[in-house]
Structure 1
Amino acid sequence: MADWWANLGEAPLASWPGPQGVNEAGGGSVRGCGRVGDMSLHRAVCNRNAALVEKLVSEGVDVNQVEAAGNTPLHSAAFEGWVDGVQLLLRLGAKVNASNNAGDRPYHWASNMGHEEVCSLLEKHGATKERGKVLVQEHVPKVKDFFSKPCWSHHPKPYTDFIDFKKSEAAAYEAERKRAIRV
């Protein structure tokens, strides 16, 4: 059985830019497995605790930190319809057009929940209604023709360092298998 990355072709793949806000406009995470922020700011936003939000950011917590699905605290405030929180996060430097792994921006979350006041506020600060880049997670199904299927062909390819890691991991497993059975 061939490994799923064998069908990606020889075209160069992008390098991984880092765990925090991998999309150009912020947000997004392709390394969610324990490599995201500590979620303290997300929890403060979900609890509508403005004082804690300000305290955490003043202590150095990234106002645009992401969780495993690529959502920023601004996504959470928009989803909750917390107008004061959205204003606070924007004042503290939150990226208004950050998109999560599914390409949703805070505006989409506010719109989906019917929070018109939040939508207006986000638009006033430059929010776009256009969807962001969809990111492929590290746990892409091991289907040999994943990227050739019409429903998945729009997904970007994984980053080159991840593919290189998976190839070296497979080679190490094969070497260990051969050593164990003395091939």
Structure 2
Amino acid sequence: MIPSLRLLYWRPSAAALVRTRALLPMAEFYNHETGDGAFRLIQKSDYARALQGARVGLCLSDHEGPMRASVEYQLLDLPVVTTEAQGGRIEMMDPAHCRVVPADPRAVADAVQELAAEEIPAGAVRASVLSRLAAHRAALPGLIRPHLQAAFDDASAGVTLDDIGKVDLWRTRDAEVIRREVDAMPV
């Protein structure tokens, strides 16, 4: 269905690796093949090099947090095919160069072929995700401002995301307390 498939992944269990190799015998298991058979975590520029020549990024898990790979693909100017999922990845995708499909091999393959055949202008996918990331980055201080004001009173007025990172405000309170507050926030 898909003529070539290079997999980059987090460390799998031995059972998961055996099962996935059986399901995808023609796939290139990049983390293991570049590590002489042993798992090797692909990072930074090696990650970008590993994706050179790819036509489409695939995001196929059904439940995941933000799934950074989906954004990383787009930052590398790759269109993305994703299955319907819980988590935050679909929010960062532009329908002009991303497809959300059912978790069905034929639907995934068809979407891959469709996107690979499209003549997406160079830089369009990257520009789109950068715009979406900038909008979310700009909105975040406003979303957490009530919590900052409760903790720091007027000292939090005008605080930006860069300011938050500089003073490490994320670490000033117990992680479990922050987790409960975030879980209780309206979506």
Task: Report TM bin, short chain.
Answer: under 0.3
Bigger helix share: 2
TM-score (norm 1): 0.27
TM-score (norm 2): 0.27
